[in-house]
Amino acid sequence: MQVAFPDRFEKLPARFDLPHIERFVVINLDNDKEDKIKLDSGQLRVRELILSQDSTWGVKFHFSDYSKYWEFIRVLDICKIERACCFRFDHDDLIVINRPPRPKPANELSPPPLMM
């Protein structure tokens, strides 16, 4: 499926690095009769991902050349409904992940001083 974006997006970097994730739940959308079921299943997996706050796995929606535009819009709707804050387009895929936890500042890592 070919998608064109307005010129204002060309100012953004073409790729930004996502954390290294090896485990993905892949939802293949190829314009068959089961795509609505696949999208419902994908929404449940995105919800599970967001609620788990786990940054070691993600959900990948793969669009084939035969995917319909409504499927693409539905995946964007799923991201908005489930409040997915971190997703990215990568060729024919839309990848949804959780942000990795931020490292704690050095002053929070050490125990507080004892007061006597």
The mean pLDDT of 93-110, rounded to a whole number, is 76
* Domain ranges for the chain: 21-101
pLDDT digits (tens, 9 = 90+) for 3-37: 555 544 444 444 445 666 778 999 999 988 999 99
CATH fold of 21-101: Translation Initiation Factor IF3 (3.30.110)
Distance in angstroms (rounded) separating the CA atoms of residues 66 and 29: 8
Give a three-class secondary structure readout of the chain: CCCCCCHHHHHCCCCCCCCCCCEEEEEEECCCCCHHHHHHHHHHHHHHHHHHCCCCEEEEEEECCCCCHHHHHHHHHHHHHCCCCEEEEECCEEEEECCCCCCCCHHHHCCCCCCC
0.75 cut: is pTM over it?
no
